[in-house]
Structure 1
């Protein structure tokens, strides 16, 4: 299977998180700027559509935002609600977040805060969050609860 063929990459079954990390490394390589990638996995655990970068997310995941449909809620809660809505209409099975930022492999406070808040919001909503990753200057690493729960 060619790694330069996007359709071949989409056919990879990502049975474990190491498989997912390997695919993300091929797709994203290393950080270029501060942004978040919203990705999905289909019911066969393959990369689904859409793949969405977002570079204007707030610094504070717990800041309150007002919406017409959901009322007042934290930014992280809104992002998980919207991700879950997109997952449902796109017939995907799971959500993946990749936090991209320039800097070293170590977990910074902002990334930890976002990962923690997103995991909590996904639990509260019952959204199927498969994994979260940090894309940094040197590549990609998976974020585990020990990385962001203090």
Structure 2
């Protein structure tokens, strides 16, 4: 997957007059490998490969990757946003307030609510940014 990701990233960057740097590729690879990751977790993963990359570079790169449509983020707590690969099918995040476990729910589960909000209120729900908080089965 890194080769395909490299070509895709390089093309998107070229279209904006930017170049593919090792740091940009490492950040994208880390997001894809970690599935759901905060900037700090991405930074830790990148530093395992390239210790000289600083956290500011990670934050800037995540912002750029989001502008390019390669990653997206959701707020799963009051802390830093959590990033994931934008190519992954949109899903709802179920966050346990006790153990911080994050599981996924197919967006189709919220489709009836999304349709009702649209028809009754004209509100378009962004399912990719939905996080539901509660207690997981183990903690309940």
Normalised by the length of structure 1, the TM-score is 0.24
Higher helix share: 2
Q: Which has the higher contact order (CA 8 A, sep 6+)?
A: 1
Higher strand share: 1
**Structure (1 or 2) with the larger CA radius of gyration:** 2
